[in-house]
Structure 1
Amino acid sequence: MLNNIKPKTGRLLISEPFMADPNFKRSVVLLTEHGADGTVGYILNQVGNLLLKDVIQDLWDANNHIYFGGPVAADTLHFIHRAYDKLQSGEEIGNGIYWGGNFETLKILINSNAIQEDEIKFFMGYSGWDDGQLTRELEQNAWMVGDISHPDLIFNNDDEKLWRDVIVNLGPKYAHVSNFPTDPSLN
């Protein structure tokens, strides 16, 4: 394992810089569930081409970008937020970040501009690992595990910067990794 932090709900998985799987290349995944039955999370830094208003017709002004959450159930919509005070629902995963909630209430909040784009993030699909699968990938050094040092990072829309910032936040031992080129043959 690249670092000694163990995965758990509310932590981040950070892909190693040269991961071959195109679904997870330079990805930061927020873990929303981790236990004996497996792990669920959402890729935070792979914005898609769709806006929320393109997917949910009665959200006429919702210009929220929809992110690629992962390759599992790619036709399902999910969200995380930091607006429990407004939404009054969702499962807390740590640091004031919540997973899911009452979607009908959310639609009202979005249409009335009562919830801001930097308070919520939407995903198509999710990332999932069966029991033991993530452990094997960690043993193969495919991932680093980190804590959420600044919840603002989670709702950041700068995809490449997010991956770099999260690695730098792992400490000086890992900071140099953030400067590795995307394609090592160009080095």
Structure 2
Amino acid sequence: MDEQFQDLFKIKPNRKNVAVGDILIAEPFLEGRYFSRAVVYIVEHDEKGSIGFVLNKPISYTTSDLVTELKGMDFPVYLGGPVEQNQLYYLHTHSELPDALHIDDGIYWGGDFVHLTRLIREGKVLPEEIRFFAGYSGWEAGQLQKELEENSWMVGNMERTRLLQLPWSELWEKSMSDLGGRYKIWANFPEDPIMN
């Protein structure tokens, strides 16, 4: 096989650092239930560690199934990661929600749940303005940096509209493709090469 062609499939990171508001895009061959072809939105990153939410792993339950206060409100729920899966977390665009933490580009994390419930019932929070997660992804101090150095993740950015509105099934491919160059080829690489 041509050496230049072989080089296309060598895992090479695009960046070795990450910041709050960035996305992590799993390299094409990363395996596992939580992170295979995952796109993770980073909401916290400092010397103590990192926290993020997997954006593209829906579960078979809606908010109505999981939370009594949201009975009849069928918002999709995503598997945010392997930590605290019995807790519901949310990213949204509503700056008026008390105690919401601004992340980046008009994206907020959490906030007063009673107030949120009222806004949803009044039709003031739409499905394309919020994303719910069961659990989150967490890294201890230095752990994410080590994974970046092992080339497990590419680092990218994502516009607010894409983060909340792009269908989950397109997130990994579009995010990888947006990095350009060799990453466009990776984006089209089949999940199971045998099926190609």
TM-score, scaled to structure 1: 0.93
How far is 1:24 from its partner?
Answer: 0.5
Partner of 1:28: 39
* 1:5 Cα deviation after fit: 5.6
1:6 has 2:25 as partner: no
Show structure 2 runs of 5+ residues with no match.
Answer: 1-11
Partner of 1:116: 126
Assess if the C-alpha contact under 8 Å between 1:146 and 1:166 holds in 2. Answer: yes
Secondary structure, counterpart of 1:154 in structure 2 = helix
What amino acid maps onto 1:127 in structure 2? S
- Is 2:35 the counterpart of 1:16? no
Cα distance in 1 between the residues matched to 2:169 and 2:75 = 19
Distance in 2 separating the partners of 1:146 and 1:157: 16
* SS of corresponding position for 2:59: strand
Quote how far apart the aligned CAs of 1:89 are: 4.0
1:74 CA drift (Å)? 1.0
Q: Residue 158 of structure 1: CA displacement?
A: 2.0
Which of 112, 115, 118 does residue 102 from structure 1 map onto? 112
Offset at residue 157 of structure 1 (A): 5.3
| 1:45–1:162 contact (8 Å) kept in structure 2 | yes
RMSD, aligned α-carbons: 1.4
User: How does 1:131-142 map onto structure 2 within 5 Å?
Assistant: 131-142=141-152
Q: Distance in 1 between the 2:183 and 2:125 partners?
A: 36
Q: Shift of residue 23 of structure 1?
A: 1.2
- Give the residue type in structure 1 aligned to 2:163: I
Q: Does 1:178 align with 2:187?
A: yes
- 1:57 Cα deviation (Å)? 1.3
AA of the residue aligned to 1:130: E
Given candidates 166, 172, 176, the residue that maps to 1:167 is: 176
Distance, in Å, in 1 between the alignment partners of 2:180 and 2:99 is 34
Which residue type is aligned with residue 179 of structure 2?
A: L
Q: Note if contact 1:30-1:43 (Cα within 8 Å) is conserved in structure 2.
A: yes
1:20-169 map, 5 Å: 20-85=31-96, 87-148=97-158, 150-156=159-165, 158-169=167-178
CA distance in 1 between partners of 2:193 and 2:40 (Å):
23
CA–CA separation in structure 2 for the residues paired with 1:181 and 1:139: 24
Amino acid at match of 1:92: H
Count residues in correspondence: 185
1:50 and 1:157 mapped to 2: Cα distance?
A: 19
Question: Secondary structure in 2 aligned to 1:180?
Answer: coil
Q: CA deviation at 1:53?
A: 1.1
> What are structure 1's unaligned runs of at least 5 residues?
none
Identity %: 37
